[in-house]
């Protein structure tokens, strides 16, 4: 009775799934706006323009990000710093900085290209707008405030998740000096949003232990 056997096999699959779902063991679906998944460490979300801890902007207006961008969604214009009141340490700063989020493909090449780690990505991905103009993020939205927090496009939105906005992706940490073996256990200076007090890089053993979990 091959048919009956197959039928029972199929019923067993759905039955097992049902028990797994009810007990929560196999449940993958989450009630999204209420319960959010933990993002992967290097999640590519919304961009942020960072500041140094002293409040200076990191962006030097070099336009390397704009050049690296495959979607050509970044528009930068640099400007000479005023010697008495500089915006960034260096000659120039990003006078105009716009990212068209409707064109951005969130590849992170701008982050790689940036020589000063001025542009990084956060884990925020909920950026839908009712208006195409709102999809173009200017310096007002991108630049972090002097206190290290980042402005949200819709702070009044009940679903606005500021935590994810303040959490940097792991890209900088993976590539910056902080990832070098020589700096293991040394508390690094870092300026991506809200994480000026990053804990030290984990040692290799610690990482092996974690990935083995």
Partner 1 sequence: MTGIDWLVVLIRVVGAFALLLLATLVNVWAERKLVADMQNRLGPMRAGPFGILQTVADGLKLFFKESIMPRKAEVGMYLLAPFLAVVPAFLIFMNIPWGDSFFIGDREVVLQGADLNIGLLFILAMSSMAVYAVVLAGWSSGSKYPLLGGVRATAQAISYEAAIGLSLVAVILFTATQGEGGTLSLNEIVVRQSGNWGDVHPIFSWVPRWNIIPQIAAFVIFLTAAVAETNRAPFDLVEAEQELVGGFHTEYSGMRFAMFFLAEYVNIFSMSALTATLFLGGWLGPTWEGSLPAFVSGALPTVWFLVKTYAIFFVFVWIRATLPRFRYDQLMTLGWKRLIPAALLWLVLSSVVLAWRQFGAPWG
Where along the sequence are the contacts to partner 1 (CB under 8 A)?
A: 7, 10-11, 13-15, 17-18, 20-22, 26-29, 31
Looking at residue 159, what DSSP letter applies?
Answer: T
Instruction: Give 21 or 41: the residue with its C-beta nearer to partner 1.
Output: 21
Instruction: Give 27 or 174: the residue with its C-beta nearer to partner 1.
Output: 27
- What tokens appear for 88 in the block? 């960034």
Instruction: Give 28 or 181: the residue with its C-beta nearer to partner 1.
Output: 28
CB of 88 to partner 1, least distance (A): 49
**Which phi and psi (to 5°) does residue 79 adopt?**
-150, 150
Instruction: Give 3 or 83: the residue with its C-beta nearer to partner 1.
Output: 3
CB of 30 to partner 1, least distance (A): 8
Q: How many CA atoms lie within 13 A of 132 on its CB side?
A: 2
Instruction: Give 15 or 177: the residue with its C-beta nearer to partner 1.
Output: 15
How buried is 147 (Cβ within 10 angstroms: 0-12 exposed, 13-18 middle, 19+ buried)? Answer: exposed
Looking at residue 56, what DSSP letter applies?
Answer: -
Helices and strands (DSSP H and E) totals, the chain: 7, 5
Q: Are 212 and 190 in contact (CB under 8 A)?
A: no
Q: In whole angstroms, how far apart are CA 140 and each of 48, 98, 99?
A: 11, 9, 11
CB of 128 to partner 1, least distance (A): 20
CB of 57 to partner 1, least distance (A): 45
Residues 196 and 53: their CA atoms lie apart, in Å, by 7
CB of 13 to partner 1, least distance (A): 7
Instruction: Give 7 or 186: the residue with its C-beta nearer to partner 1.
Output: 7
CB of 126 to partner 1, least distance (A): 19
Residues 161 and 154: their CA atoms lie apart, in Å, by 10
């Amino acid at each position: 009775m091959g048919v009956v056997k197959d039928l029972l096999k199929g019923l067993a699959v759905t039955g097992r799934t049902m028990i797994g779902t009810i007990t929560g063991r196999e449940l993958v679906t989450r009630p999204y706006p209420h319960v959010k998944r933990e993002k992967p460490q290097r999640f590519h979300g919304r961009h942020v323009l960072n500041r140094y801890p002293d409040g200076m902007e990191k962006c030097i207006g070099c336009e390397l990000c704009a050049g690296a961008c495959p979607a050509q969604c970044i528009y930068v214009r640099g400007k000479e710093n005023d010697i008495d009141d500089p915006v960034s340490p260096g000659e120039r700063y990003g006078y105009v900085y716009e990212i068209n989020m409707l064109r951005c493909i969130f590849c992170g090449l701008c982050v790689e290209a940036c020589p000063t780690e001025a542009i990084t990505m956060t884990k925020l991905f909920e950026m839908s707008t009712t208006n195409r103009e709102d999809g173009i993020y200017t310096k007002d939205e991108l630049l972090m405030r002097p206190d290290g927090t980042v402005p949200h496009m819709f702070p009044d939105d009940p679903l606005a998740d500021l935590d994810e906005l303040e959490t940097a992706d792991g890209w900088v940490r993976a590539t910056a000096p902080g990832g070098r073996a020589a700096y293991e256990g040394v508390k690094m200076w870092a300026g991506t949003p809200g994480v000026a007090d990053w804990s030290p890089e984990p040692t290799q053993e610690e990482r092996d232990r974690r990935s083995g979990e």
